[in-house]
Structure 1
Amino acid sequence: MSDRHFAFWPEHATRHLPVPQTHLYRNVEVSAMRFPDKPFLIFYDTPLSFAQFHDETERIAGYLQRACGVKKGDRVLLDMQNSPQFMLAYYGILRADAVVVPLNPMNLAKELEHYASDSGARVAFVAQELLPRMGPLLGQALDHLIVATYSDYATAPTDLPVPDFVSAPRVALAQRGAVAWADMLAANLRPGPIEAGPDDLAVMPYTSGTTGLPKGCMHTHRTTMYNVAAGSVWWKANAGQVGMAILPLFHVTGMQAGMNGPLYTGSTIVVLPRWDRDACALCVQKHGVYGLALITAMVIDFVSNPRLPEYDLSSLRRIAGGGAAMPKAVAHALEHKLGLRYGEGYGMTETMAATHSNPPDAPKAQCLGVPLFDVDARVVDPATFQELPPGEVGEIVVHGPQVMLGYWNQPEASAQAFVEIDGKRFLRTGDLGTTDADGYFFFVDRLKRMINAAGFKVWPAEVEALLYQHPAVQEACIIAAMDPRRGETVKAVIVRKPGAAGEVSEQQIIDWSHEHMAAYKVPRIVEFVDSLPKSGTGKVMWRELQERERLKAT
């Protein structure tokens, strides 16, 4: 591993990070003792204090253990949008010494059935609006369902736009085995003492991967605690700051940046269930939000909001995230409009969020940053695993305290995910990247996404970044199209900026591309669309577009 990046290491951060060797729930207890009356959560202007959070998570754990028979190591499903109940259920499950299995609320019944059967969970928390999908599993895969109604925690007057699914009143439950959240709390059951330790399983998020059914990533209290502590130190977080939980909490980035980290530092978090650029800006103005964790797609939407100048965003000091390379044009717009440089990072579900981040005082544009505390990251030849010199493209591999144990009940997939180098166990990320002379890492593309155009290697992410510099392009996704002569050729699927529909044609995009990139990278086909398909975490679902294109050719 290179040590070149230490020349740019934050002055306030030591190179080695001591991490608390405790159960994650201890962070609830500590913050409740330190700041009992301080709001931990604000949900549509309704606060929930650290002391209330502590008390309710204890009651949730008591119900799980005494009413549902949950024991140490049992998996419990958690299927909700961002809400106080998501956070309370998460820590209630941990307090019961069980394992949180967070689910994407966009999942349908068949997908939920896989998560229940694969994890072996017999108990689930579900939001009221998602009950029609989860309900059929009750009495089959599941024995108990605890049903949450968001409006129970949104009782204060607010001028924020409240979605219908949040304001909806509680409905009566008819299914045997289903209990309302309020009734669970009213039972006032208390759990036994904490028995799990730092090396017991705590969270098992599922990753879709590129092939097969989703796999559960086994994370312990220790692997999860690492990024809780690391992010707090790296970004100089403290109890006086206000943040936002606007990234999906079921996803590891939102989970760590919007919930686990702030709970650790005693910060206050403003919770929004879904991305809404105006609601986000209004919350920043109203609550003096200090930092935002936003993926690239959200930043693009945020800075392109014509109403942005109407809001007082002067409290904002940091916008950080990842998910995809930040286009240079969007980074410039962010700096021009808000005076902020985007703090890009890199991580995976398998690493419980970040393994890399840009130093706060020395960030680089369109860059993954440098390896975090105690992380050994390398760019290697995917065939030989020999480390490559700066500038050469290879696979990014990582060894560090936040790397998962492996995939749940998937020994073969786990074995394939790791490689031993110099006596260390490295996770193969499947991402291609390079390093520069300073030891910073740069993303090139997914190992399996490369387009082979007449023998030339085209990396879609690189072409997308260039297209974002076109004044009419709001979003772009590059996929491979079949070509009888070249084998594959480059196709651009583009969302135009408002008002640009009659101003720019497909051929103009192609002509512009010839002026700004090498000929073999130029999209030979351009398709304009109203929107790009996105996952629950806001990432563009390029595989869906690629599959559509493949079906066209058959």
Structure 2
Amino acid sequence: MNLTSHLGETAKKYFNKPAYIFNDSSSTYAELDGAVTKFASSLEKLGIKKGDHIALVLGNSPHFVIGLYGALRLGATVIPINPIYTPDEIGYIVNNGDVRAIIMLDLLVPMFEKMNPLIPKVETIIVCETPQGTSIGVDPKKLSIYPKLKSFSELVGAGDLGFVGPELDDEDVAVILYTSGTTGKPKGAMLSHKNLYSNARDIAEYLKMSDRDKVITTLPMFHVFCLSVALNAPLLSGATIIIDPKFSPKEIFRITKEYGATVFAGVPTMYNFLLQYPEGNPEDVKTLRLCISGGAAMPVALLKGFEQKFNVLVSEGYGLSEASPVTCFNPLDRPRKAGSIGTSIVNVENKVIDENGEELPVGQVGELIVRGPNVMKGYYKLPEETAATIRDGWLYTGDLAKMDEEGYFYIVDRKKDMIIVGGYNVYPREVEEVLYNHPAVVEVAVLGVPDPNQGEIVQCYAVVNDKSLTEESLISYCREHLAKYKIPSKIEFLEELPKNTTGKILRRALKDKILQQ
């Protein structure tokens, strides 16, 4: 079984039940499954076949759901991309991922017109029409990419409801999720149909999702947290997803009350905004049976404050792109432990090991490793990276953790230097690579600094050879090459960076400097 075939089965069982609600209108499972089939049929007519790579450059919308499941039904591999990425970031993923077709927002047409010469492998660009897109003032017939442009709605409308896709193998690559690597360039985690289906199934079972649930889908769909927890798992269960294009506390309270939402999934930053919202009324969220937190560690004070005010359980979990993503959640049938990521979900094993690969006793800190049907096939075109990350069937997460006597895990620190800004992963090397391309930058170090609203923000220390260079001009330079949440909030110029005897920059010394300020 896989996600797209299971959707067909769910549509037979819950024919007239709403699969999703978007902009206060709904679509049934039968309508969704029909649109998926017709879109897959039209993709095939365009010459796209099983194994081809299709990028989704979309926000939260029915387009994303239909595009994802339609491509999977055809046997294509989907590469979700954050639509707020810069042309440099999108171009790298599109080229490295050997993308043949792109499904994107019409608002991005001008950007892709400029990018066209840089993405020669792309043969088809499918444009999703939005009300805002009518104001971009672009005549598509005057664009160099016009021969490549196709209308999403027209493709769905012209599709064949009798289309039967190719047979899919469990080990076929369904999705490639790009995450940053040690070189500073993103690397693609290849997730098979089995990886995605098993994780969605096991999440749904662990969190007791059913057809009675209404799940708020406000996390970005291109992110694996939302993809599995707030999209695939609910659709697998016959639940209704309430698609929210852009998070705002006011809207979350409104749709929860209006539609009787039962499950909310968010990152700690979202919970902080909801808790601080002056008009947040516990009565508006009384239908919620469960709130799910992930993407970053949730401060215990925030967790307890939210639960006390709104009288709803918050279950923290843990995951990573390479594990589809969930490996742990706080269980619903046992006490929730604040500060813990919970216990291993169904069919997944977690354990803590020392540097020799030996399992550590309860309470001792070591590296968290994971094994299960959710673990990726490997990194796309990176066999050495794959071999270093997956050993004897175990995925080495790079995170430091400990386990208590009841099997609850706790993340102690990150072995890697990843920064988490509002639930989004920012890798220092990626930001450093951009800054090193500036002609005046000699040395640079990027690290995360605690922030009450975003969890962390990006801070930079730089040595430059041009004393007239200002902090603002260097931040402006970053804006040209990085997504908004990756841009340093502060850049401090130093005469030199602290180093050890081998010349390695000492990040710990810089963190200590921040603490002393």
TM-score between the two structures when normalised by the length of structure 2:
0.79
Question: How much does 1:55 deviate?
Answer: 1.2
Q: Please tell me whether the aligned partners of residues 282 and 311 of structure 1 are also in contact (alpha carbons under 8 angstroms).
A: no
Matched position secondary structure for 1:93 = helix
Q: In structure 2, what is the equivalent of residue 33 of structure 1? A: 12
Separation in structure 1 between the aligned mates of residue 9 and residue 152 of structure 2, nearest angstrom: 25
Question: How much does 1:183 deviate?
Answer: 2.0
| 1:552 to 1:34, Cα distance in 2 relative to 1, 3 A | farther
Residue 393, structure 1, aligned to residue 393, structure 2: no
Separation in structure 2 between the aligned mates of residue 496 and residue 213 of structure 1, nearest angstrom: 28
Q: Is there any run of 5+ residues in structure 1 with no aligned partner, and where? A: 1-21, 152-164, 451-459, 465-476, 480-487, 498-532
Q: Which amino acid aligns with 1:407?
A: Y
Q: Please tell me whether the aligned partners of residues 269 and 453 of structure 2 are also in contact (alpha carbons under 8 angstroms).
A: no
Which digits, 9 at most, give the CA deviation of each residue in 1:188-235, with x for residues without a partner?
A: 346443321222111111112454211111111111111111111111
Matched position secondary structure for 1:442 = strand
Matched position secondary structure for 2:99 = coil
Separation in structure 2 between the aligned mates of residue 107 and residue 116 of structure 1, nearest angstrom: 12
Q: In structure 2, what is the equivalent of residue 428 of structure 1? A: 396
Q: In structure 2, what is the equivalent of residue 150 of structure 1? A: 130
Separation in structure 2 between the aligned mates of residue 54 and residue 309 of structure 1, nearest angstrom: 37
For residues 158-173 of structure 1, the aligned pairs below 5 Å read: 165=132, 173=140
Q: Please tell me whether the aligned partners of residues 331 and 341 of structure 1 are also in contact (alpha carbons under 8 angstroms).
A: no
Question: How much does 1:172 deviate?
Answer: 5.5
Separation in structure 2 between the aligned mates of residue 280 and residue 168 of structure 1, nearest angstrom: 28
Q: Which amino acid aligns with 1:445?
A: D
For residues 120-199 of structure 1, the aligned pairs below 5 Å read: 120-138=98-116, 140-151=120-131, 165=132, 173-174=140-141, 175-189=146-160, 191-199=163-171
- Of 32, 40, 45, 1:61 maps to 40
Separation in structure 1 between the aligned mates of residue 367 and residue 377 of structure 2, nearest angstrom: 20
Q: Please tell me whether the aligned partners of residues 108 and 133 of structure 1 are also in contact (alpha carbons under 8 angstroms).
A: no
Q: Which amino acid aligns with 2:158?
A: A
Separation in structure 2 between the aligned mates of residue 103 and residue 492 of structure 1, nearest angstrom: 26
Q: In structure 1, what is the equivalent of residue 341 of structure 2? A: 368
Separation in structure 2 between the aligned mates of residue 394 and residue 144 of structure 1, nearest angstrom: 47
Q: Which amino acid aligns with 2:187?
A: K
Residue 358, structure 1, aligned to residue 348, structure 2: no
Q: Please tell me whether the aligned partners of residues 206 and 346 of structure 2 are also in contact (alpha carbons under 8 angstroms).
A: no
Q: Which amino acid aligns with 1:439?
A: G
For residues 529-544 of structure 1, the aligned pairs below 5 Å read: 544=488
For residues 38-57 of structure 1, the aligned pairs below 5 Å read: 38-57=17-36
Q: In structure 1, what is the equivalent of residue 321 of structure 2? A: 349
Q: In structure 1, what is the equivalent of residue 65 of structure 2? A: 87
Q: Please tell me whether the aligned partners of residues 290 and 318 of structure 1 are also in contact (alpha carbons under 8 angstroms).
A: yes
Question: How much does 1:275 deviate?
Answer: 1.3
Q: In structure 2, what is the equivalent of residue 283 of structure 1? A: 255
Q: Which amino acid aligns with 2:268?
A: T
Matched position secondary structure for 1:176 = helix
Q: Which amino acid aligns with 1:288?
A: G
Which digits, 9 at most, give the CA deviation of each residue in 1:222-259, with x for residues without a partner?
A: 11111111111111111111111111111111011221
Question: How much does 1:182 deviate?
Answer: 2.1
| Percent sequence identity over aligned pairs | 30
For residues 186-335 of structure 1, the aligned pairs below 5 Å read: 186-189=157-160, 191-309=163-281, 312-335=284-307
Q: Please tell me whether the aligned partners of residues 110 and 138 of structure 2 are also in contact (alpha carbons under 8 angstroms).
A: no
Question: How much does 1:43 deviate?
Answer: 0.7
Q: Please tell me whether the aligned partners of residues 112 and 134 of structure 1 are also in contact (alpha carbons under 8 angstroms).
A: no
Moved more, 357-366 or 201-210: 201-210
RMSD of aligned residue pairs (Cα, Å): 3.0
| 1:129 to 1:172, Cα distance in 2 relative to 1, 3 A | same
Which digits, 9 at most, give the CA deviation of each residue in 1:465-517, with x for residues without a partner?
A: xxxxxxxxxxxx9x9xxxxxxxx9x99554589xxxxxxxxxxxxxxxxxxxx
Question: How much does 1:365 deviate?
Answer: 0.3
Q: In structure 2, what is the equivalent of residue 162 of structure 1? A: none
| 1:305 to 1:209, Cα distance in 2 relative to 1, 3 A | farther
Q: In structure 2, what is the equivalent of residue 96 of structure 1? A: 74
Question: How much does 1:449 deviate?
Answer: 3.6
Q: Please tell me whether the aligned partners of residues 83 and 150 of structure 1 are also in contact (alpha carbons under 8 angstroms).
A: no
Q: Is there any run of 5+ residues in structure 2 with no aligned partner, and where? A: 429-444, 455-477, 498-517
The number of equivalent residue pairs is 441
Q: Please tell me whether the aligned partners of residues 42 and 160 of structure 2 are also in contact (alpha carbons under 8 angstroms).
A: yes
For residues 371-382 of structure 1, the aligned pairs below 5 Å read: 371-381=344-354
Separation in structure 2 between the aligned mates of residue 263 and residue 496 of structure 1, nearest angstrom: 31
Question: How much does 1:185 deviate?
Answer: 2.2
| 1:37 to 1:144, Cα distance in 2 relative to 1, 3 A | same
- Of 71, 95, 107, 2:49 maps to 71
Question: How much does 1:129 deviate?
Answer: 1.6
Separation in structure 1 between the aligned mates of residue 258 and residue 336 of structure 2, nearest angstrom: 29
Q: Which amino acid aligns with 1:402?
A: N
Q: Which amino acid aligns with 1:179?
A: K
Q: Which amino acid aligns with 1:375?
A: V
TM-score between the two structures when normalised by the length of structure 1:
0.74
Matched position secondary structure for 2:19 = strand
Q: In structure 1, what is the equivalent of residue 416 of structure 2? A: 448
| 1:185 to 1:224, Cα distance in 2 relative to 1, 3 A | same
Separation in structure 1 between the aligned mates of residue 85 and residue 179 of structure 2, nearest angstrom: 13
Q: Which amino acid aligns with 1:52?
A: E
Q: Which amino acid aligns with 1:141?
A: K
Question: How much does 1:284 deviate?
Answer: 0.1
| 1:301 to 1:56, Cα distance in 2 relative to 1, 3 A | same
Separation in structure 1 between the aligned mates of residue 174 and residue 450 of structure 2, nearest angstrom: 40
For residues 512-523 of structure 1, the aligned pairs below 5 Å read: none
Q: In structure 2, what is the equivalent of residue 455 of structure 1? A: none
For residues 454-533 of structure 1, the aligned pairs below 5 Å read: 493-495=450-452
| 1:493 to 1:236, Cα distance in 2 relative to 1, 3 A | closer
Q: Please tell me whether the aligned partners of residues 75 and 165 of structure 2 are also in contact (alpha carbons under 8 angstroms).
A: no
Q: Which amino acid aligns with 1:57?
A: V
Separation in structure 1 between the aligned mates of residue 14 and residue 453 of structure 2, nearest angstrom: 48
